[in-house]
Amino acid sequence: MIKTNAYAALSATSALQPFELERRSPRSDDVLIEIAYCGICHSDIHTARGEWGPTLYPFVPGHEIVGRVLAVGKKVKRFKMGDLVGVGCFVDSCGKCPSCKSHEEQFCLDHTVFTYNSVELDGKTPTYGGYSTHITVRDKYVLKIKKGLPLERIAPLLCAGITTYSPLKRYGTKKGKKVGVIGLGGLGHMAVKIARAMGAEVTVFSTSAEKEPDAKKLGAKKFVLTTNPENFSSHRGKLDLIIDTVSANHDLSPYLGTLKIAGLHVLVGVPPKPSEVEAMDLIYGRKHLAGSLIGGIKETQEMLDFCARKKVFADIELISATGINEAYERTIKGQVKYRFVIDAKTFLP
């Protein structure tokens, strides 16, 4: 076993604090990773505070992980010591069901082993996330990262990147398409960058007027301040696709109105309460409402390679472990541009 320094929440109301855990020594098909950086996702906060159902405490968050290989099991051929690698939102699955066989392991019909707040395939061993110095993962669920790239800016791609890339790619984003992005936070800023890199014209919808300059800088051509309903009128029937990143309750009707006939509104944010949808908003114009959850290992690797080619990386604020609790509060208030990333060297005993 490998003693590992980490940060954990001990209850739904406690601040995160130093914590020591044990990672397993590499098995024949395992990769032992020394973590360099880990992003802070809003999902970390929701789970730490017990807002998304039961949380297993002590809880170590973190599923935007990048680092270097320290050791590999004897059957591992894809990685060697010193390789740069990433780990995303899950670390194992059954590998046998139709979802796994079609490279959609995130939808495993038996048991997706999420990087945190989950249990291993044995049904009892808890998983701990990337707010730590080391992690041991089956080689099949480890991702390759090209050398010479800014590792700290790649970390958020393992969740925010794939969460937005997957629906953009799946629904045909390319030159000539018009894409709307609702919300300009950790997910939203990646949606803008990736959609633009795919060749689309991007419109950002936001409740904050001060975000317009950033939206344009990130690649958006148009900006809609949503606090004024009249601002939607000139955009009716213009968009092919909307990526909705907002995790607060909001009325979908005005956004559905901006879609072309047969346009698609994809939810990737998770509001705390169920959304209400007017049937006529979908019926008139044959609109579609869908959801999307991260991506499988094959698609996540594709996303990393795409972002490396296009030089698309997250905009981040690098912090030490002692700043995690403050970063949580600032994330909730939207006071970050656009992702906090923790330097794993600062996870001291």
Q: Is the pLDDT of residue 136 over 90?
A: yes
The domain made up of 2-159+313-346 has a fold known as Quinone Oxidoreductase; Chain A, domain 1 (3.90.180)
* Per-residue confidence (pLDDT) for residue 173, from 0 to 100: 97
Q: What is the mean pLDDT of residues 52-67?
A: 95
* Percent of the chain whose predicted confidence (pLDDT) is above 90: 94
pLDDT in tens, 111-120: 999 999 999 9
Q: What is the pLDDT of residue 53?
A: 85
Confidence band of 247 (pLDDT split at 50, 70, 90): confident
Q: Who contacts 305 (Cβ-Cβ below 8 Å, separation ≥6)?
A: 146
pLDDT of residue 8: 97
Q: What average pLDDT is seen over the chain? A: 96
67 confidence band (pLDDT: 50, 70, 90):
very high
pLDDT value at position 248?
86
| Residue 271: how many other CB atoms lie within 10 Å | 13
CA distances from 247 to 185, 220, 241, 329 (A): 10, 21, 18, 15
Per-residue pLDDT reduced to its tens digit, 313-345: 999 999 999 999 999 999 998 899 999 999 999
| Residues 220-248: b if buried by 16+ CB within 10 A, e if exposed | bebbbebeeeeebeebeebbbbbbbbbbe
For the chain, residues classed under CATH 3.40.50.720 are: 161-291
Tell me what pLDDT residue 303 has.
Answer: 98
Question: What number of CA atoms fall less than 13 Å from residue 325's CA on the CB side?
Answer: 10
Helix (H) or strand (E) holding 144: strand 143-144
H or E element, residue 88: none
Query: What pLDDT shows up at residue 273?
Result: 85
Question: What are 82-131's pLDDT values in tens digits?
Answer: 999 999 999 999 999 999 999 999 999 999 999 999 999 999 999 999 99
- Predicted confidence at residue 94, as pLDDT, reads 96
What stretch(es) of the chain map to CATH 3.90.180.10? 2-159+313-346
Mean pLDDT of 250-260: 96
As a whole number of angstroms, the distance between CA 27 and CA 75 comes to: 9
What percent of the chain is modeled with pLDDT above 70? 100
pLDDT of residue 40: 97
pLDDT-based confidence at residue 221 (cuts at 50, 70, 90)? very high
pLDDT number for residue 162: 98
345: nearest Cα among 36, 80, 101, 17: 36
Question: CB 194: neighbour CB atoms within 10 A?
Answer: 30
Q: How do residues 34-53 score in pLDDT, each as one tens digit?
A: 999 999 999 999 999 998 88
**Architecture of 161-291 per CATH?**
3-Layer(aba) Sandwich (3.40)
How does residue 200 score in pLDDT terms, banded at 50, 70 and 90? very high
Distance of CA 142 to CAs 54, 125, 139, 203, 325, Å? 27, 20, 5, 34, 28
Give residue 270's pLDDT band: very low, low, confident or very high (50, 70, 90): confident
Mean pLDDT confidence for 286-311: 97
What's the rounded Cα separation, in Å, for the pair 299 and 304? 9
Tell me the mean pLDDT in the region 259-282.
93
Contact 266, 243 (CB under 8 A): yes
